[in-house]
């Protein structure tokens, strides 16, 4: 169990480093599946464009500082314990143990 927790923590740390190094970059409009329009540069209350606009999206994320890291840390704080529990149950009892604990796992998820 301790080894599973250690591995999960290491994996989370490596992904976090990768996210921090890469940063956030909006895709080019020709690589986006978002509806495209030649409409105005209108933005919502948060500063995001109402119509896909790479520059406006990049400008928004540039102002966010460490928001992505904070969101990633929040995601990890919620998901790693759950995934560790699933891995531990799988290792110690296999599918039978997972089935036995399916309600508790569903509640935790």
Model pLDDT, residue 103: 92
Model pLDDT, residue 41: 73
Model pLDDT, residue 109: 81
Q: How far is CA 54 from the centre of its chain?
A: 21
Q: Give the C-alpha separation, 74 to 36, whole Å.
A: 32
Q: What digits encode the pLDDT tens for the residues 28-85?
A: 666 655 555 555 677 888 888 888 888 888 888 888 878 888 888 899 888 989 999 9
Classify each residue of 34-50 as buried b or exposed e, where b means 16 or more C-beta atoms within 10 Å of its C-beta: eeeeeeeeeeeeeeebe
Residue with tokens 């940063």: 23
Task: DSSP letter for 27, please.
Answer: P
Q: What digits encode the pLDDT tens for the residues 97-109?
A: 999 999 999 988 8
Model pLDDT, residue 100: 93
Q: What digits encode the pLDDT tens for the residues 14-29?
A: 777 776 666 666 666 6
First and final CA of the chain: distance in angstroms? 20
Residue with tokens 């009892």: 93
């Amino acid at each position: 169990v301790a080894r599973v927790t250690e591995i999960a923590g290491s994996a989370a740390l490596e992904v976090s480093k990768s996210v921090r190094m890469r940063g956030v970059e909006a895709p080019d409009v020709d690589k986006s599946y978002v509806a495209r329009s030649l409409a105005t540069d209108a933005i919502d209350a948060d500063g995001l464009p109402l119509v896909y606009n790479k520059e406006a999206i990049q400008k928004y994320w540039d102002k966010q500082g460490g928001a992505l890291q904070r969101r990633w840390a929040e995601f990890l704080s919620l998901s790693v314990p759950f995934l560790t529990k699933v891995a531990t149950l799988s290792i110690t009892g296999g599918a039978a143990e997972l089935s036995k604990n399916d309600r508790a796992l569903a509640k935790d998820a």
